[in-house]
Structure 1
């Protein structure tokens, strides 16, 4: 239930609450989030060539992102624990920007959405890249973390109007299908 301010995580007196979803129907829900990390040339090449001293940067970041999605409710207060049915984390190397884009897709059949799980997944994947490469570049910048798309639930489909190049390509493909 949304109160006068439109926010659902506060009661009438302004106290934080966990939303009661017990009466909501279970539906299939998906969320896709993305973000990127800008790195220097040495880090970009180490990631791309698989030569980072700490090992497989993207493989480790992928696992960290998946683990993050599964544990979102332990980190974000008021998030419901959800039985994640699928979580994938993919990376796109962006040579012209000396950056890596992370994209998480999370699915669940449940009473509430998985937007926070997708955003948490991307955030932790990018933080893991930072952690594994900080010896080469402490000036890396994590940026543009956002929800690209969500489906399911009462509010239906959300598609971010301005997204990354990767998302624009995906939209063009969807429009021609």
Structure 2
């Protein structure tokens, strides 16, 4: 990709930040998946998996937090459009060999703009919630690898990492 020819959509001709006008764009079904990881000690990982944490089911709490995060994306990221999400999923894959949890979020809607930011926010907030709930046991946890893994719909088309 020739980066010299690419223009940032949220910067106008004078270099001022602005919200992109999507008024004339067609409504299409749009979907995005994002992932991230939280690495922790074996002891903390086992507590989470066996639901032995004194704060309760940390996975269920992180799932709800991730869904809420996706719904609040426009309030957190200044130039994001408020979206009427039709579906948000937040799933967790326990990776015992690395003492980490993979978080995968999916956001979907029919609308004029994509849902990548919402999926990234869902994943990030779920990871932050796991960190918050487990930090007293394991303050050395590490959140890493947050990224969009696929998207469908819209003018720029579909892609998968």
Asked whether the two chains share a fold, i.e. TM above 0.5, the reply is: yes
- Matched residue, 1:175: none
Partners of 1:19 and 1:102 in 2: how far apart?
29
Gaps of 5+ in 1: 161-177
Q: Cα deviation per residue 1:4-27 (whole Å; 9 max; x = unaligned)? A: 651100000100000000000000
State the TM-score, normalizing by the size of structure 2: 0.96
Q: Which has the higher contact order (CA 8 A, sep 6+)?
A: 2
More helix by share: 1
Gaps of 5+ in 2: none
Alignment of 1:2-17 (within 5 A): 5-17=6-18
Alignment of 1:17-166 (within 5 A): 17-160=18-161
Partners of 2:81 and 2:108 in 1: how far apart?
14
Q: Secondary structure at the match of 2:101?
A: strand
Q: Secondary structure at the match of 2:122?
A: helix
Query: What do you get for the CA RMSD once the two structures are aligned?
Result: 1.1
State the TM-score, normalizing by the size of structure 1: 0.88
The count of aligned residue pairs is 158
Q: Secondary structure at the match of 1:135?
A: coil
